[in-house]
Amino acid sequence: MSPLVVFSHLRWSFVYQRPQHLMARLAKHHQVLFVEEPIHDAGPARLDSGWQGRSLEVLTPRTSLPARGFDAEQAKLLSPLLRRALQDRGLRSPIAWLYTPMALPLARALDPVLWVYDCMDELSAFKGAPAELPARERELMALAGVVLTGGPALYEAKRALHPRVHCMPSAVDVAHFQPAVQDPAAVRRADQLQGTLTQPRLGFFGVIDERMDLQLLAHLADARPGWQFVMVGPVVKIDPDALPRRPNIHWLGIQRYETLPALMAGWDVCLMPFALNESTRFISPTKTLEYLAGEKPVVSTRVPDVERLYGAVVRIAGTPEAFVSACEQALHETPAQRRQRLTHAMDVVASYSWDGSAQVVHELLQEALARRLSGQASRSAFQGGLRPAPQDHAAALPQTGALAARAGRS
């Protein structure tokens, strides 16, 4: 199979999420080169290498250029290094897989046999997004043979821009988060971090950035000073001094993926206190399914994809007062209510697995390559400008998106 060269704005060692899950599994079928954004370094430009298995290599560019991200100047410097890296590894006819359209100038240098755009977030709505990002996305959509979206909201936003857009929400590694499966070292680490905290504990793990409703979190802590709020994850793009500081809010920072299930096992309720703004309009949080797989009750603000996909098994709150009330209800479930919740939650979790998602993606790549080789691929889907897709191409995702596919069509 053609090698996969993946361009990601998220580093491999950052929060373990969609890119890591998919690429770790696609490496069973492809040699994968995972190319991170450049890091500033005073020395000569180079590509640092780190292996994540026999078929998955992470390349970290280091250059003296001050510009951040995959900008055009970085691309000029890195293109010959990346071409040589493929030559040295004997890799030909690569598939270019982009998580950010900003990598387009660098990816072009490889002359890919196929372009894939995995639109897991609406990056243009995020704080500090490059002004040229929307134009780059239009270029990428015109090239792409496969377009994936991270949930139904993004699918609806992108479906008219390309003839082959597939709704593929994030999934879950159920075995990793099941309460019965706990790594002893992770349990010890979790006890060190939160073992002295009293109950009840209400927890969150994930990136803490402009998508977090910090005022809501402060309201919760003030309304219930006896509750302990455990916040796990890196603080990104916001001032750490802006975080609410309360005796019952505990900021634990980024933790290893292996530690998350043990931390969650000590929580009574899992939280998704997202702000409702442009940066959360299209998100489909991976943590929803991870919380559910951990058999915890979940309370969320009115994030559109959360309501649409998981509203039957997640408590949704529209106001701070309603959020407090929903947490109270979760904390005081009867045994019968808990059994009913777990039955419904496990039905949902069973519909989404990263193994199944990766298999679907593998099949989509094979089909796209076959179309190209047979001369049936259409590289001119946008003659005369953008046009609506001729039909609904939301992927029917066996085992990984039955609910999402239905949501994408509704």
331 dihedral zone (left: phi>0; alpha: psi -120 to 50; beta): alpha
- What is the enclosing helix (H) or strand (E) of 300? strand 298-300
pLDDT tens, 88-110?
999 999 999 999 999 999 999 99
Strand ranges in 77-164 using DSSP code E only, listed in sequence order: 95-98, 114-119, 146-149
**Nearest-CA neighbor of 4 among 362, 399, 332, 408?**
362
Under 8 Å CB-to-CB from 280, ≥6 apart: which residues? Answer: 211, 274, 303
Over 219-282, what HEC string results? HHHHHCCCCEEEEECCECCCCHHHCCCCCCEEEEECCCHHHHHHHHHCCCEEEECECCCCCCCC
Backbone angles phi, psi at 341, to 5 degrees: -60, -45
- 4-171+355-409 topology per CATH: Rossmann fold (3.40.50)
Residue 253 burial by CB count (10 A; 0-12/13-18/19+): exposed, middle or buried? exposed
- What is the enclosing helix (H) or strand (E) of 85? helix 72-88
* Spatial separation of the C-alpha atoms in residues 407 and 410, rounded to whole Å: 5
* Spatial separation of the C-alpha atoms in residues 200 and 265, rounded to whole Å: 12
In this structure, what token pair is assigned to residue 278?
């442009």
Single-letter amino acid, residue 228: Q
Predicted confidence pLDDT, tens digits, the chain (410 residues):
799 999 999 999 999 999 999 999 999 999 999 999 999 998 899 999 999 989 999 999 999 998 778 988 999 999 999 999 999 999 999 999 999 999 999 999 999 999 999 999 888 888 888 889 999 999 999 999 999 999 999 999 999 999 889 999 999 999 999 887 678 999 999 999 999 999 999 999 999 999 999 999 999 999 999 999 999 999 999 999 999 999 999 999 999 999 999 999 999 999 999 999 988 999 999 999 999 999 999 999 999 999 999 999 999 999 999 999 999 999 999 999 999 999 999 999 999 999 999 999 999 999 999 988 877 444 444 332 322 232 333 333 333 343 344 333 33
* Spatial separation of the C-alpha atoms in residues 368 and 153, rounded to whole Å: 24
Under 8 Å between Cβ of 239 and 212: no
State the residue for tokens 């290498």: 49
CA 39 to chain centre: 22
Q: CATH class for domain 174-349?
A: alpha beta
- Looking at the chain, the domain(s) classified CATH 3.40.50.2000 span 4-171+355-409, 174-349
Model pTM above 0.75: yes
